[in-house]
Amino acid sequence: MLIYYFIEAKNTADQVSFLTITASIAVMKSLLKIKENLQTDQSNNNLNKFDVGAKSSLKIKWPNDILISDKKVSGILSEMSADMDYIKYAVIGIGINVNQEFFPEEIEGIATSLRLEYQQTIARNKLLENVLESFEEYYNLLLAGREQELLEIWKDNLAIIGEEVTIYSDDNLYYGRVQDISDQGELILLDDANRIYKFWAGDVTLRKRQI
């Protein structure tokens, strides 16, 4: 399932990274809500807290993927047009693997779907409704200038801070430990030579720990 948002609003240019952050939180919340509804057959009215037990295998992979049991179930891409001070418009594309039961051999070990993970066929219209409602709520936080609140929710669900990782960015490989996420959503990496790097984007994989 593909979802596209077209946003035409005068967000300030320094809020660009928070559009992807906002979308990531909204998608994760929606997938969690779908799971809770399947388990309880009741709507969860608490949109501000994630249940830790229910989301144990659900997490955000920095910067723009959603994982279930360490397999990709959703990806998010944002494009925008801006001048020096304001975003003219932004398009956010969200792809979610909903009811797929089979994947090509080259990705079957790293991709999954809601159908495979939740063992039930998912109503796409209900999922779309959940995504739109969640995005509207968190986007309103962004419009209200509550970026740090969004950032804290996002960081709480990244499960990457403190981990040793490999980052592929701009045709280069970097190795080190994730120190933190900056106030603008950048990943802060400390490499083995104690050098600090900041990344806006990149392909991140966890490094195997030596035993």
Q: Can the peptide bond before residue 63 be classed as cis, meaning omega within 30 degrees of 0?
A: yes
Q: In angstroms, rounded to a whole number, what is the distance separating the alpha carbons of residues 126 and 98? A: 11
pLDDT at 46: 47
pLDDT in tens, 55-108: 458 999 988 899 998 899 999 988 877 776 677 778 889 999 999 999 999 999
pLDDT at 181: 92
Geometric angle at alpha carbon 19, from 173 and 117, rounded to 5°: 75
The mean pLDDT value for 109-129 works out to 93
Structure tokens at 52: 């830790």
| Distance between start and end Cα atoms, the chain | 41
> Which of 184-189's residues contact partners 24+ apart within 8 Å by CB, and which partners?
184/14, 184/17, 185/17, 185/18, 185/20, 185/21, 185/63, 185/151, 185/154, 186/17, 187/62, 187/63, 187/160, 189/165
pTM: 0.81
pLDDT in tens, 145-177: 899 999 999 999 987 889 999 999 888 999 999
